[in-house]
Amino acid sequence: MKKILITRKLIKDSEDKASKTFNPVFNTNDELYSQSKVIEMSQGCDGILTSLTDKMDKETINKLPNTIKIISNFAVGFGNIDLNAAKEKGIAVTNTPDVLSDATAEIGILLILGACRRASEGIQSAKDGGWKWSADYLIGKQLTGTRLGILGMGRIGQKIGRIAKSLGMVIHYHNRSKLSEDKEDGAIYHDNVKSLFSVSDVLSICCPATKETENMINKETVEYFPKGAVITNVARGDIVDDEALIDALNRRKIYAAGLDVYKNEPNLNPGYLKIKSAFILPHLGSATKDTRIAMANLAIDNIDEFFNTGKCSNKVN
């Protein structure tokens, strides 16, 4: 039976599954392991089930014992892992696609609604009490008839598009390639980000974090948006230059932001704390019990498939 290090605590159903499949080393206290701790704990193991909180850079991977043959990431993303370093060391890397699309899309819609309808300000006002209704009290942006730009039209982007369309929004998108007509579902394709941003009253960032998308929202590109646009991010924090977005919010070029992800999580750039129109969540995209169990179970299945067949359908390197 293969010995597997599981770096973060999983929901009991998934830990039970791991115990039936492998000889697992659990993180019972859900401690955030340092890179040196991961290296230490992986001694004698055949594989590692990592989380996005684990920084598996080149130095860490090179110091892993030679017994490690697979890193199964408990996430759809894998920006925390140096794929090339793993490949050079003969370590397969896998992720957990598909199973979190619905839950993440729901948070994407929540970000759009929360940012457009000034939810953070409303929540604080209700808690403070003593608010008085008036015709212009906490006026926000209505979604019906508003143009939604989707940056990255994968499964999550498509789901957000379908829900947003049912709310009366007009869907535009940019993707690496144009989708088939049935997947577009009436959405309008833009072959470059400048074109997409220029028509986006609201933007939903759904693309993966890559070298090409890093800081795609920056000092230059925020100027492409219509004045008073809303920017939301349900993908990865690396796609947004925080300082550029904060500046755009402060000078009202950008009306509001809705962020479930941001750089240096969980440490939010303090500039956002001074902006009332920033609607911020603590990376809740996949945070439903069913989804987290499905993700962990798939991460376990990825390891099992790899050791049984020598390959894995969810291999990313």
Active site residue 31: no
Q: Kindly state the greatest CA–CA separation across the chain.
A: 68
Tokens of 85: 């370093």
- Which of the following is catalytic: 117, 190, 236, 292? 236
Active site residue 283: yes
Active site residue 174: no
8 A C-beta contact, residue 97 and residue 76: yes
Q: For the sheet containing 254-259, what is the strand order?
A: 188-190, 170-174, 147-151, 202-205, 229-233, 254-259, 278-280
Name the residues annotated as catalytic. 236, 265, 283
